[in-house]
Structure 1
Amino acid sequence: MNTLKPCKILVVFGLLLASCDVAKSQDKIATKSFVDEVVPFLKAHCYECHNADESEGGIAFEKYNKSANVQQNYDLWEQVIRLVNEHQMPPADQPQPSADEIAEVSLALKAVLESFDCSADKHPGRVTIRRLNKAEYNNTIRDLTGLDLKLADGFPSDDVGEGFDNIGDVLSLPPILLEKYLEAAYTIADGIFEDKKLSKQVFPHEPASDNLLAQAQAAQLNIQHFASRAFRRPVTQDEQVRLFTIMRDAWGQDVESTEIYKTVVVAVLTSPHFLFRIEKDPEKDDDDGIRKLDGFELASRLSYFLWSSMPDQRLLDLAKTGKLTERDVLVTETKRMLLDPKASAIVENFAGQWLQLRDVTRLEPDPDLFPTFDDELQQSMRKETELFFQAMVSEDRNVLEFLTADFTYVDQKLATHYGMQPVKDEGFQRVKLLQGRRGILTHASILMLTSNPTRTSPVKRGKWILDNILAEPPPPPPADVPELEEGIETLGSLREQMEQHRANESCAVCHRTMDALGFGLENFDAIGAWRDRDGKFEIDASGQLPGGISFDGADGLMKILTENKAEQFCRCLAQKLLTYGLGRGLTTYDRCVINDAYSRLQSKGYRFSELVISIVTSDPFTMREAMPLDD
């Protein structure tokens, strides 16, 4: 008898009890600190604008008089710390807390945030049943049939939620789309059988003889093979019977064999099990209403995350054996998939939306002010950033290089635009950036995205950085504040105009940070070309961020962002990638995944693959939660 086993169990049980006691103790300390130090601060400086009667920004602090309720409101208190430390709140026209008061309340709130217990409740969340979006439909048809028809380009546009077009909650199914699906299915069915070699690849099983029994057996095998690949899981017996019944009914009408198979193709490609990504909900006896995804569900999540397409045969085989749910196997497959050419989908669909590259080709700078701008240059701008992102993925580079990289990709058109030496060969070449340019924020694509048609916009550029690089979005502007007018010469330089705009204290609160970030990029005009002057005014690209951190120019700004804001950037990127990977908005409980992702990045050299691995091995990615009873 192993007498050590009961001892081990007792030790483990004791450690669990001890950890629970520590967590409870930390919670009590945090609660006391909140009541004693934070609540008085809120009463003195925040209640006037954030109360039950006047909840500016939808926030009423009065209800937090006994507890911060950090398990549900982590993001709120994280934002409070940032705004108070950056002197954005309370507004400048209100009595200001002393430096000591700010330090004390920040310390107390940090203790509150540290009391957030990732082990207290497991909430992996649930993803709404998801329709394939246009990119996913095109890619899935390509990988299922070998036909790269891009029929979804003619479908209605996909709605966008949380910044992405693969969010289950917004992917509706309008009647016109049903008609498009049916038309596309017939086109695909015809395309398969227009090529004999292709049809044999899609339906590989040949009858052993000419008799009806052999033909029926081959037909059943082909149905099973095609439908299982289309549904991304083994077809059930009931589904096989129904599909074979469709085939048999067509057979009874004495039509050609190819027409019979086309009928099945149309039936499969218009089935909800093809058009939607369906996952089983937890059963009543699943612990806490949570179940682990099976291998096939996990294979689909992984492949649509990294490839925007169906799982390949290797993933399906691993799913069938159950090995894909093993962590080591999942990690190995993730690394393999990131190196596959199909991983270009994460560039097109994730980077295209995170960095808003899809919008680049829709921009129209003023042709009189920017006569060198044309369609070819516009395409080159977008291609540069896509190739850079692809290098970050395929070379598994440090994610901080999004901010600091000293290399990029240019063709002759873009090299001329950047004032570089001519490139030696046709097409895009990897080159070293000139002094003054570093990372994606100095790519012409991003600089043009964040400009107006006639001039630069430090506000747009600063806000873009806060939204997409730091995940620190500013609040919406007050309703009564006028826009900065275009083309005003009499007010001086753009910087001087902005200073006049900030004279309104309700604007200055947010603009101090936004404008400083944006002015760091002022050496680049509205189409991303370098300049030393803006008309008759010399460019001043210096700035000062909250806390007295000064910089001069894009080089200095990138240095500050990397040295002082690296954690914020990594967390922002992790949030964006997790949202895209899950296909849903994030909740407070997803904070634990972001924490783990940042820790993993720190310990693994900030490699891009390590960020992806932290997401695909997380509970939200590998599990599914039941619908809450009150929903």
Structure 2
Amino acid sequence: MQFLIKPISLPLALFLALCFIDRCGVSATEVPGDVSAFLEQHCIDCHSGDEPDGDLDLTTLGFELDDLKTRQRWLRAHDRVHAKEMPPDDAMSLTSEQRMTFTRALSRSIVRAEAGHNDVVLRRLNKHEYQNTVRDLFDTDVIVHGLPDDSSTDGFDTVGEGLAVSAEAMTAYLAAADQVLDAVFGPKEKPKAIHHETNLLDQVDWRGRPMDQQIGKMFRQTDDGLVVFQSGYCPTHLVNFSRLRAPAGTYRGTLKVRAVQSETPVTLRIYGGDTIVNRREQHLVGYYDVPPGDWTTIEFTDRLLEAGGTFHPKCYATRDTRKDADTWPHPGIEIGDITIEGPLEPWPPVSRTKLLGEIDVTSANQADARTVLRRLLPKAFRRPIDDDDLKSYLELYQSSVTTGQSFESALRVAIKAVLCSPEFLFLIEPGESQIDSYALASRLSYFLWSSMPDETLFLLAANGSLSNPRVLRGQVERMLNSPRAARLTKGFTGQWLDLREIDFTQPDANLYPEFDELLRVSMIRETELFFEEILKNDLSLVNFVDSEFTFLNERLARHYGIDEIHGQAFRKVQLPDDSQRGGLLTQASVLKVTANGTSTSPVLRGVWILENILGTPTPPPPDSVGSIEPDIRGATTIREQLIKHRDIESCAACHRRIDPPGFALECFDPIGGYRHEYRTMATEGRRPKLKQAPFTYNWVRYRLGQDVDSTAVMPNGMTITDITSFRNALASDPDRLTTNLAEQLLTYAIGRKLGFSDRPLVDQIVTQTRERYYGFRSLVHAVVQSPAFQQP
């Protein structure tokens, strides 16, 4: 906003009142006098006419705060005046009293408008919560397929507004219920048990040829087995389940292995599922360190989702041989005896026994069905039930029996109806000023565990003590110490930090030949362990932007240029004093999800920081402004392109806030590597020293382009000289960081969008957290204890 003097013939209050007449001629909401007086004196000169500053014409905006878009624009005006960003300092100085008079009057109008639109939206379980809930309800490890992806609202898939039930979703829930019940009741006959002991010499390659045809070429024969060298390709199967006709299920495998021709451990990776023709499910089982010298036994437990799958070992980060294994001098892995056994699931399944108890299905009757349903429904509905709740499901059971179905089939019909009922699929939270104790138990459980309450929470809800602050605090501690709290890590960080989008783009193999699967897996694990450490030990949440530690394995440490980290197991690492790393913004996971596979954009990263870390999002750009396309040939830098972009007046105001934090991260490439120069695919330019990328051994084809400039000037005039000074700048305002994280946690926890009227409650949470030295665990407690968490 630049403030020029443009005379207006009518007093602003009258002018706006004339403008705010709707099409039917009915007067709209009246502009408060303090607001109109402020606008007339300080704003209208620049924000009117044919080319209003910031594309904001106050004379046509209207004051219909019932309209969400209009309310949001006035809210931004409130916040920019409150933050002393507007009016500009060079136009006119304002006293604190003038600003307060305007913001107070405007805030009262916004709060009144929000109050008329704060209806609570009934929240459905998202697909992750559904999966966890049926597992905990029935004590089964079922994996449900086919549920549609959930919409994200304000960054989270726990917000009720984005969780409507479409016809497609309802059809998917019917199919999902069948999958759940198939797992709960289990197969009618005990699955075939596999106990297979073998040696790689006994196996065949993927074309069915005996392994001895590859001896001396791809593999080296020893007295105890085979030495494998292949990293990218290795046609060896631990067990060919398609030949054994093994069922889907969980299997335990053991391998006797040792590294050869290496003084340090060599990494083994194992895949499960269809590892040959890619017609069925396949997945990574894990990465394992194999030391040299004596034999080591590696044990893994993994679930095959489909019958006929295999397990497949490969070396990792080794040079491949295809023709001279007997004389190949590089590291490999010797694999000896192999044992595979499973399925490990008991039969009948635990879930079946838990559901039916001592009931004999061959002679069971309606009384037995009543017993099962009366035991199941309170847990499924997460509240006590009465006879009316039970009646309709018993009628379904009896109707099925009447048509000739067996007890088990009829019971399945009734339970399927339970799993598709609103009482199961939705979080129903009755109450006026405060939700009832059972709804509180569910809200707490779905916040911290992404699943239904356990027996302890049900008992506390039943006796009415859960709402006691001391009891509630004790339960939060208990739940955060539970293994189920890993779901909070996955669910919250996956959305707050966009970690679920890690595979949305694939790095250009020519520009980033060192990128591979283990690096991608390690990126995510670092951030999750980092989050858990801060939460577990109530460390200051300032660590999220500036920390002295992180969690690394060898693969990620090498990527960061940190030496003396060996093996793929993660461990807490104290960062060197001169390290560029420290905090989320320097972690490869965040740097990858805020870039594409080819280039970085200060705009994308700057917007991400403003929204996800500082909680000060910018409005979307005008439709008339095009995007900036990266120059992969390296002729111009992104800074040069943005200078031209900022010459557009409608872009300049926002880019003054967006670009500086984005430029501060330009020293990191799209896969999180630290850089001094851009990489290009130009035909001219310096070549890097490496001819092959580390770990992958892919050929390096890129060239080094222009130097990276990551300096910036923040809107408050602070100069950012490097990533360390930027981290210090962010860490200097812990209240801003706490406010944002409190808003993110509240949105995720209570399942609704926060509004302007929630700000006082958020301020209370920030105050309580500040008193606890900004501890992250203390913030979680403050969120749970807040009135917002316990209100409908």
**What TM-score results when the alignment is normalised by the length of structure 1?**
0.81
Does the aligned pair in 2 maintain the 1:491–1:497 contact within 8 Å?
no
Q: Does residue 120 of structure 2 align to residue 127 of structure 1?
A: yes
Please point out which of 737, 756, 780 is paired with 1:569.
737
Q: CA deviation at 1:351?
A: 1.4
Equivalent of 2:521, from 363, 367, 379?
Answer: 379
Offset, 1:188: 2.0
- Residue pair 2:735, 2:766 contacting (<8 A) in 1 also: yes
Instruction: Tell whether 2:741 aligns with 1:599.
Output: no
Partner of 2:712: 543
SS of residue paired to 1:400: helix
**Contact 1:77 1:109 survives alignment (8 Å):** no
Q: Within 5 A, what are the aligned runs for 1:44-443?
A: 44-48=45-49, 56=55, 75-81=75-81, 85-86=84-85, 97-98=90-91, 100-101=93-94, 105-106=98-99, 108-109=101-102, 125-151=118-144, 153-194=145-186, 195-196=347-348, 198-199=350-351, 201-203=353-355, 205-206=357-358, 217-252=367-402, 256-280=406-430, 290-434=432-576, 435-443=579-587
Alignment deviations for residues 122-149 of structure 1 (CA, whole Å, 9 cap, x no partner): 9995431222111011000110112222
State the SS of the aligned residue for 1:423: coil
State whether residues 306 and 338 of structure 1, in contact with CA within 8 Å, keep that contact through their aligned partners in structure 2. Answer: yes
- Looking at structure 2, the residues matched to 128 and 232 of structure 1 have their Cα atoms a distance apart, in angstroms, of 19
**In 2, distance between residues paired with 1:186 and 1:382?**
33
Aligned to 1:430, what secondary structure does the other structure show?
strand
Alignment match, 1:529: 673
Q: Give 1:250 deviation, angstroms.
A: 4.2
Q: Matches of 1:61 and 1:598 in 2, distance apart?
A: 37
**CA contact 1:415–1:423 (8 Å) conserved in 2:** yes
- 1:164 and 1:115, CA in 2 relative to 1: closer, same or farther beyond 3 A? closer
Rounded to whole Å, the distance in 2 between the matches of 1:60 and 1:376 is 57
Return the alpha-carbon distance in structure 1 between the equivalents of residues 671 and 180 of structure 2.
42
Q: Given that residues 450 and 487 in structure 2 are in contact (C-alpha distance below 8 angstroms), is that contact kept between their aligned partners in structure 1?
A: yes
Cα root mean square deviation, aligned:
3.5
Please give the secondary structure, in 2, of the residue aligned with 1:431: strand
Q: CA deviation at 1:231?
A: 0.8
Relative distance call for 1:478 and 1:188 in structure 2 (3 A) is: closer
Question: Structure 1 38/174 Cα, relative in aligned 2: closer, same or farther at 3 Å?
Answer: closer
Once residues 57 and 46 of structure 1 are traced to their aligned partners in structure 2, the CA distance between those partners, rounded to angstroms, is 6
Cα distance, 1:397–1:48 mapped onto 2, change above 3 Å: farther
How big is the shift at 1:481?
3.1
Counterpart CA distance in 2 for 1:46 and 1:529 is: 44
Deviation of the 1:224 alpha carbon: 0.9
Q: CA deviation at 1:390?
A: 2.2
Do the aligned residues in 1 keep the contact of 2:123 with 2:159 (CA within 8 Å)?
A: yes
Identify which range, 513-522 or 474-483, moves more after superposition. 474-483
Residue 199 of structure 1 deviates from its aligned partner by 4.1
Q: CA deviation at 1:386?
A: 2.0
In the superposition, relative to structure 1, how do residues 206 and 217 fare at CA in structure 2: closer, same or farther (>3 Å)?
Answer: farther
Question: In structure 1, what is the Cα distance between the partners aligned to 2:765 and 2:153?
Answer: 23
Q: Which runs of 5+ in 1 are unaligned?
A: 1-30, 65-71, 91-95, 283-289, 625-631
Question: 1:176, CA displacement in angstroms?
Answer: 2.7
Does the 8 Å CA contact 1:205/1:221 hold for their aligned counterparts? Answer: no
Secondary structure of the residue aligned to 1:409 is: strand
Decide which moves more: 128-137 or 329-338. Answer: 329-338
Residues 208, 45 of structure 1: alpha-carbon distance in 2 compared, 3 angstrom cutoff: same
User: What residue in structure 2 maps to residue 486 of structure 1?
Assistant: 630
For residues 609 and 58 of structure 1, the distance between their equivalents in structure 2, rounded to whole angstroms, comes to 45
CA distance in 2, matches of 1:490, 1:233: 62
60 and 405 in structure 1: CA distance in 2 versus 1, 3 angstrom threshold? farther
Distance 1:210 1:496 in 2: 78
Is 2:788 the counterpart of 1:620? yes
In the alignment, what sits opposite 1:450?
594
CA–CA separation in structure 2 for the residues paired with 1:487 and 1:425: 38
CA 541–344 in structure 1, closer or farther in 2 if over 3 Å, else same: same
| Partners of 1:133 and 1:158 within 8 A in 2 | yes
Partner of 2:720: helix, strand, or coil?
strand
For the residues of structure 1 that align with 2:95 and 2:717, how far apart are their CA atoms? 16
1:155-210 alpha-carbon deviations (Å, 9 max, x no partner)? 12112222211221221222232222222222322322224352455336536999
User: Is 2:776 the counterpart of 1:608?
Assistant: yes
Query: Is the CA contact 1:324–1:330 (under 8 Å) kept in the aligned structure 2?
Result: yes
In the alignment, residue 184 of structure 1 is paired with which amino acid?
A: A
CA contact (8 A) 2:769 2:779 kept: yes
User: 596-605 or 419-428: which moved more?
Assistant: 419-428
CA displacement at 1:150 relative to structure 2: 2.3
Answer whether contact 2:507 2:671 (CA < 8 A) is retained: yes
Greater alpha carbon shift after TM alignment, 614-623 vs 251-260? 251-260
Counterpart-to-counterpart distance in 2, 1:211 and 1:519: 73
Alpha-carbon distance in structure 2 between the residues aligned to 1:545 and 1:360: 29
Partner residue in 1 for 2:343: none
How far apart are residue 381 of structure 1 and its match? 1.5
Whole-Å Cα distance in 2 between the matches of residues 116 and 599 of structure 1? 26
- Percent identical residues: 33
Distance in structure 1 (CA, Å) of the matches to 2:630 and 2:532: 37
TM-score, length basis structure 2: 0.65
3-state secondary structure, aligned to 1:362: coil
CA contact (8 A) 1:124 1:621 kept: no
- Rg larger for: 2
Q: Distance in 2 between matches of 1:57 and 1:35?
A: 16
Question: CA offset at residue 314 of structure 1?
Answer: 0.6
Q: Distance in 2 between matches of 1:492 and 1:341?
A: 50
Q: Which amino acid aligns with 2:446?
A: Y
- CA contact 2:147–2:176 (8 Å) conserved in 1: no
Runs (5+) with no aligned partner, structure 2? 1-31, 64-70, 187-346, 679-703
Aligned-residue offset at 1:486: 2.3
Which residue in the other structure is 2:44 paired with? 43
TM-aligned CA distance change 1:438 to 1:79, over 3 Å? same
Q: Could you tell me which amino acid in structure 1 is paired with residue 720 of structure 2?
A: F
Equivalent residues of 1:247, 1:263 under 8 A apart:
yes
Could you say if the C-alpha distance between residues 412 and 324 of structure 1 is closer, same or farther in structure 2, counting changes exceeding 3 Å?
same
Higher RCO (CA-CA < 8 Å; seq separation 6+): 1
Q: How many Å apart are 1:488 and its aligned residue?
A: 6.8
- Cα displacement string for residues 543-582 of structure 1 (whole angstroms, at most 9, x for unaligned residues): 211221112111110111111x322221111112111112
Structure 1 pair 419–191 and aligned structure 2 pair: CA distance change class (3 A): same
Are 2:658 and 1:514 equivalent residues in the alignment? yes
Residues 203 and 222, structure 1, Cα contact 8 Å, conserved in 2: yes
In the alignment, residue 734 of structure 2 is paired with which amino acid? A
Equivalent residue letter for 2:416: V
CA distance in 1, matches of 2:769, 2:467: 23
SS of 2:491's partner is helix
Contact 2:48 2:56 in 1 (8 A): no
Give yes or no for contact 1:124–1:623 (8 Å, CA) kept in 2. Answer: no
Contact 2:47 2:57 in 1 (8 A): no
Displacement of 1:265 after TM fit? Answer: 2.2
2:505 maps to 1:504:
no
Output the amino acid matched with 1:181. Y
